[in-house]
Structure 1
């Protein structure tokens, strides 16, 4: 799919966002992590940093009032916006028709929970660019990486602390379950910070950008679910040595130690020093009935 996208699009400013919210009688909720971007420079920066272009089909999650959606439609071939909110989902297409009429046909709104979508309609998407709802950002990202294998790359805005965790390398203080599971799918890196004053309402946490590029998962006979079960067990009690942390999953400390040695992993090590490939080796070394 190739498109030349240099359409006239008017982006939302602070006054536009407040006007739309008033029209909808919208009161942003913490429950859905609703903080709307009101700065055109910020959304253009996100689109620029994402690297999407006229060949891309972009998935956006939580488009809200359409700030980032409009900026994406300036450059991408197609945008599939997944919105769970009953007020916001039906209004988005109208906003795009008003502010980017020549690009209205390039938008598809999916009124659904991004945590439960089995896929998206239309051509296979190539990129994920989103201001993810902060309360479910990691589960949404991992779910979409799982169900949309055509995604090649992406840039997401999340809480700064979560951004640090997603991009953390083994051995670092912030390395944990999100770091390992994201690394199963992609190379992940921090791509910058975003100030609180570009949002309405302003959040009480800092925000960060995370970029990722798809790569093949580790070569292993274990399934992703089995590897992730080992990861969850290893970090359930962070300071425990692996032979203790995995004893419940393996059935005993002795069984865990046997599997760890077979995988070439020191049984006295802790989960935060292992990369995703090592977790895959451990999952391979555990008996299949471990995961029944």
Structure 2
């Protein structure tokens, strides 16, 4: 399957389409539209979408990336919160890739709250250009809500990409890194320049790839483990003994739980892998 049959959107087509729709990209929705065909082809390639995959695309906007994904996948389920864009997307695809229009499903919904049954399919891959302010909650929600997702590739603000892919001990390792690691192996997959967007953002972007894996073996629930993660990073500079005092009931109780889990109470949260947090959660008093 190749992208040659698709007429991708370029800078002038995107501006023309936005004008026609009376669309002014909003900061609130983090709308920065990709205007470079090479970039969307690169994302589709790096996402390793196979011909039997069902792709979930969040925030398709005017359809730049959608048009690059349609030739590669069996189906693309596009989740769009903006009703004007949600109505326009099927028309754009019908005009520019008529033979592939049947592969597109558009769901008008908030991706942070959308439920599996709304999608009408079981997505296997997430591919999206995500607004930086919602990138982490969207990815975590979809990994939790869609057990069918085997992996994906998202474009996010460069700093968010670093945080999501960071490992224990890194300066930027924190809540997003630890929670993402519950669901998947996460890695940086490249950088994206500012000039491929309209309007041009004042931040750099990066690509993050993830591959689903089993959570660490534990008797604690995901909610219980994430409560430890949240507490450990709420005050980053504190030792775990102090940071987990509220969670455990007291600093002494926190120390007891940490020692029982085989974790040094004088460490800080950034030293712990997700398996360590899971062990601590099992020993809550």
1:79-133: CA deviation from partner (whole Å, max 9, x where unpaired): 0000001211100010000001011110000000001111143331110000012
Tell me, yes or no, if structure 1 residue 146 matches structure 2 residue 144: yes
Q: Is the 8 A contact 1:7 1:102 kept in 2?
A: no
**Structure 1 counterpart of 2:233:** 235
Count of matched residue pairs: 284
Selected match of 2:65 from 55, 68, 87: 68
In the aligned structure 1, how far is the partner of 2:200 from the partner of 2:34?
9
Q: Is the 8 A contact 1:260 1:285 kept in 2?
A: yes
Selected match of 2:14 from 1, 14, 17: 17
Task: Structure 1 unaligned segments of length 5 or more: list them.
Answer: 288-292
In the aligned structure 1, how far is the partner of 2:132 from the partner of 2:66?
18
In the superposition, the TM-score normalised over structure 1's length comes to: 0.96
**Structure 2 counterpart of 1:111:** 108
RMSD: 1.0
Q: Is the 8 A contact 1:7 1:103 kept in 2?
A: no
**Structure 2 counterpart of 1:290:** none
1:177-231: CA deviation from partner (whole Å, max 9, x where unpaired): 0000000000000000000000000000000000000000001010001100100
In the aligned structure 1, how far is the partner of 2:162 from the partner of 2:70?
29
Taking structure 1 as reference, are residues 104 and 57 closer, same or farther at Cα in structure 2, changes over 3 Å only?
same
In the aligned structure 2, how far is the partner of 1:137 from the partner of 1:28?
18
Taking structure 1 as reference, are residues 204 and 229 closer, same or farther at Cα in structure 2, changes over 3 Å only?
same
Tell me, yes or no, if structure 1 residue 162 matches structure 2 residue 160: yes
> 1:6 Cα deviation (Å)?
6.8
In the aligned structure 1, how far is the partner of 2:131 from the partner of 2:267?
35
In the aligned structure 1, how far is the partner of 2:3 from the partner of 2:232?
49
Selected match of 1:260 from 255, 258, 261: 258
SS in 1 for 2:119: coil
Q: Is the 8 A contact 2:3 2:68 kept in 1?
A: no
1:238-272: CA deviation from partner (whole Å, max 9, x where unpaired): 01000100000111011100100000000001000
In the aligned structure 1, how far is the partner of 2:88 from the partner of 2:244?
49
Alignment of 1:1-292 (within 5 A): 8-119=5-116, 120-287=118-285
In the aligned structure 2, how far is the partner of 1:121 from the partner of 1:182?
22
> 1:5 Cα deviation (Å)?
7.0
In the aligned structure 2, how far is the partner of 1:146 from the partner of 1:129?
16
